[in-house]
Structure 1
Amino acid sequence: MNSACYLDWNATTPLRTEARAAMIDAMDVVGNPSSVHAPGRAAKALLERARAQVAAALGAEGQDVIFTSGATEAAALVLAGQGYHCAGVEHDAVRSWCVEDLAVDRAGRITIADPGRACVQLANSETGVIQDLPEGLAVSDLTQGFGKMPFAFNWLGLTAGIVSAHKLGGPKGIGALIVKRGTDIAAQLKGGGQEMGRRAGTENLIGIAGFGAAAQAASRDLEAGIWENVEKLRSVLENAIADRAKDTIFVGNESRRLPNTSCFITPGWKGETQVMQMDLGGFAVSAGSACSSGKVRASHALQAMGFDAEAGACALRVSLGPDTRQEDVMRFAEHWLKCEGKHRARRG
């Protein structure tokens, strides 16, 4: 990472040391996992070890894991053409394939009438709001919750779950679809029959190795209580801002949230302006989902929660990580409050 104070962990995470080491080792594995000779078997063993690591971290079984190029492909693999229903707070990778008609309240909680025909996120990338997933839910986007909160795929009662490596310290460009045993998944990429015939194409062995190592390390950190410390830092941040910026609204703070995520709206102060001012101060934050950054449009998630376009355009997301220190949080709060004071003075 560069010298900027990185506070945008929901967009992507720094590559874990364990993932980097696993990827470097995988570069020396010559064989194709589909080959039956010794080098091929060595590659296959590496592939299956990583599959087992991801499955264990998710509370699933190895044969339930289908490796993909990322969460976006995993969403398309399970959702395309199925007519599932979703809410407006979902990621665009989900909304693109679903009927968007599930209601959301001001706290970010989704009303689910027919779980068997719905795709509902475990946690929102912008607000951090965690959903109580009902028994029998068809599909869940587990991407933001994976590694930050305890859950087990086998206990959730899902038909399928969507995950990504780079949200928990793995490499970009690799993800997975987790499926309940016996679920039929029609391959969209057809060819050599890899991934048990559900996703053709020679596997990205280097990325998969990094994913497995990152998932294992993330699971270890979760058990060690790392994210409880992060949640304390989030409270320090929000309390510092709330004490002096009385007009600022903390989105979803009445709901259960991811331990690292704070989304707040300061009326009249554009989120994109805040991002630039924070960047000039040496802090990397976001005005919303990374997949939407750079586009001048209101957050669909905040609109679905009942915030108007003007309010949504004034949102800032700060997402912390295990490497975030209290001094980072306090320096950010002081810089943000200094800029907020200038903004207030200009408005009169």
Structure 2
Amino acid sequence: MERIYADNAGTTPMAAEVIETMTEMMKNVFGNASAVSSFGREARRVLDESRHVIAESINAKSDNEIVFTSGGTESDNTAIMQTAFLRRNEGRHIITTAIEHEAVLKPMAFLESQGYEVTYLSVDENGIIDLNELKDALRDDTILVSVMMGNNEVGSRQPIHEIGEIVSESNAWFHTDCVQAYGILDVDVQKDKIDLLSTSAHKLNGPKFLGFLYEREGLNLKAYLRGGDQELKRRAGTENVPAIAGFAKAVELASADKKELREKFQNLKKKLVEGLEHQGIDFEINGLHDGSELPQIVSLWFKGCQSDALLTNLDLNGIAASAGSACTAGSLEPSHVLTAMYGKDSPKVSESLRFSFGRYNTEEEVERIIEVLSKTIKRIKKGR
């Protein structure tokens, strides 16, 4: 049976070039980058070169603004928690949105339990915040604004440049969870006045358990993990040099054909939507589908069909999709993103699927998805 992977927002398969780079490094560059021997110096050179590639990809001012972490969760947690602790004497008010990833929402909930006040901005039916609501929420004691660049469930893109302009005129720092957008969108931390930015390598065909936190020069966050003096004393733990080299290779690949990939993803989404329409399937798109959203993600409401039944049938036919974030897929809780957009009583919350495309998806795979999904939905509705 042909297997089709259409859940790239959950994770992506590693690129062959990344695997080749990492394999070469694991064989030949195994020294500790903190050691003074020739083995350590060789590892340090690879580490520094990789950091430079990544810093350039977001227009960081200095390579030293890049701190390697274990992934998006650690990067988000570090940005939020360490900002809160460092600036607690300046204020204890933080602003975020109702549709952030759990890696942002759960640290926020913890900080609330510690006496901090968190304002959760609402979103409209397209998953976009109201900039006037942000302006109204900012206070003298606001120390951090955390707004994701692109949503992992419905693909909505926030007006990051405008948010950066607004926050830069306040006392707050601006953090963005860029996990879904990095490698897909053009990111410029200088232009958008971003102070802190989080990413994860496995979302762009790189290795898992690796990411980075961009920390604007001068913020001076304290280390989240304590131990050795790695990463200029900002993140303890021996660096995984082979994986970091693989991450840099994934970034190079993404940078080389980013525009072409965006066009490919939009075409695959268009083919999926038009194919389902041709089959007479009763569905609606959640959020925007006008090119302003993340190009690789589409969330569809299949009216009258429960998400779990659709996912089970797709999986039995070798097709991987999702009902929401892979990090909460095992939970019985409804999608907090769709709930924020449409309300907890909306049938969209329990009748929607997310398809997310990647570098290796093809039009033939989309045709197969349309075929299996259409047959499944028609069979479900006929059985009533």
TM-score range, shorter chain: over 0.9
Contact 1:77 1:186 in 2 (8 A): no
Kindly indicate whether residue 111 of structure 2 is the aligned counterpart of residue 110 of structure 1. Answer: no
Match of 1:346 in 2: 383
1:271 aligns with 2:307: yes
Following the alignment from structure 2 to structure 1, what is the Cα–Cα distance between the partners of residues 195 and 383? 53
* 1:118 aligned counterpart, secondary structure: strand
Give the residue type in structure 2 aligned to 1:95.
L
SS at match of 1:207: helix
* Distance in 2 separating the partners of 1:341 and 1:3: 22
Number of the residue aligned with 1:57: 57
Identity %: 32
Deviations 1:245-283 (A, max 9, x none): 453121012562111111011233111211111111121
1:119-168 CA deviation, whole Å, 9 max, x = no partner? Answer: 11110011011111112441000110111122222222111000000000
What is the match of residue 114 of structure 2?
none
Judged with a 3 Å threshold, the aligned counterparts in structure 2 of structure 1 residues 96 and 245 are, in CA distance, closer, same or farther, namely farther
- SS of the aligned residue for 1:234 comes to helix
Match of 2:178 among 122, 133, 142: 142
CA contact (8 A) 2:281 2:374 kept: no
- Count residues with an aligned counterpart: 345
| Equivalent-residue separation in structure 2 for 1:33 and 1:3 (angstroms) | 43
Counterparts of 1:246 and 1:285, CA distance in 2: 18
* 3-state SS in 2 of match to 1:172: coil
Q: CA RMSD in A?
A: 1.8
Stretch moving more, 301-310 or 183-192: 301-310
Q: What is the aligned partner in structure 1 of residue 34 from structure 2?
A: 34
Alignment of 1:15-94 (within 5 A): 15-27=14-26, 28-60=28-60, 61-80=62-81, 82=84, 83-94=93-104
Is 1:299 aligned to 2:335, yes or no? yes
Please point out which of 213, 226, 229 is paired with 2:261: 226
Whether the 8 Å CA contact 2:342–2:348 is kept in 1: the answer is: no
Distance (Å, rounded) in 1 between the aligned partners of 2:30 and 2:47: 13
Paired position in structure 2 for 1:215: 251
Please identify, of 159-168 and 204-213, the stretch whose mean Cα deviation from structure 2 is larger.
Answer: 204-213
| Unmatched 5+ stretches in structure 1 | none
Q: Structure 2 CA distance, aligned partners of 1:71 and 1:287?
A: 21
Aligned equivalent of 1:97: 107
CA separation in 2, counterparts of 1:303 and 1:242? 25
Alpha carbons of 1:100 and 1:6: their partners in 2 closer, same or farther (altered >3 Å)?
A: farther
- Contact in 2 for aligned 1:297/1:313 (Cα 8 Å): no
* Structure-to-structure mapping, 1:149-168, within 5 angstroms: 149-168=185-204
Distance 1:215 1:159 in 2: 21
- Residues 171-320 of structure 1 mapped to structure 2, 5 A cutoff: 171-223=207-259, 225-245=260-280, 247-253=282-288, 256-309=292-345, 310-320=347-357
Q: CA deviation at 1:14?
A: 0.8
Structure 2: runs of 5 or more not aligned: 85-92, 109-117, 168-173
Which shifted more, 334-343 or 157-166? 334-343
